[in-house]
Amino acid sequence: MKNAIKVLLIIIGVILLDQITKGLLLYLITGGVPVFGPAWNIVPVPYMMGQVTDFFNIVFTWNPGASFSMFRSLGESAPIIIIVLTGIVIGFLLHYLFNKANKHEKIPIAFIVGGALGNLIDRIRFGAVVDFLDFHVGGLHWPAFNIADTFIAIGVGLYIISWFIIRKKK
């Protein structure tokens, strides 16, 4: 039971961190935090917030596709398809997390679920995800991403490491 509470707190913490950073960004741009609405009616994109370092900018963009703009070519049906697929994946991960995951897998999967839920909230609210972290080298930019994407990537990396740890013990 204690482990389940810890895992739920991690998931909630990831969601809150993600939503607070996105809400702060929306507030700085619009002067308010919209609850629902079509993304492109709220803030036109791209919107440059400012250069932080020589290799990092804060930008504002809507991502109607999946991670790193995948599935963007699906057009208007992309949000619905991605919401359904994301819900299925989250359901599978939650089932695995609370029924089958070992101690090495719990935190990585909690990070992935928290990040996926953070982006799912945006999709349901706006039909697109808020992305704002822009890393680049000269004119070469990595696709903009957000805190949820960061936790998903960290979770996947930690999960791969845990897989090697488990495999080595066998």
Side chain identity at residue 32, one-letter code: G
> Catalytic residue among 18, 122, 134, 149, which?
149
Side chain identity at residue 53, one-letter code: T
Q: How many CA atoms lie within 13 A of 30 on its CB side?
A: 18
Is 54 considered catalytic here? Answer: no
In the structure encoding, which two tokens stand for residue 31, read together? 């002067």
* DSSP-based three-state secondary structure for 46: coil
Is 149 considered catalytic here? Answer: yes
> Catalytic residue among 18, 122, 131, 134, which?
131
Are residues 97 and 3 in contact, defined by beta-carbon separation less than 8 angstroms?
Answer: no
Helix (H) / strand (E) containing 144: none
Provide the edge-to-edge strand list for the sheet that holds 47-53: 47-53, 56-63, 129-137, 140-141
Active site residues: 131, 149
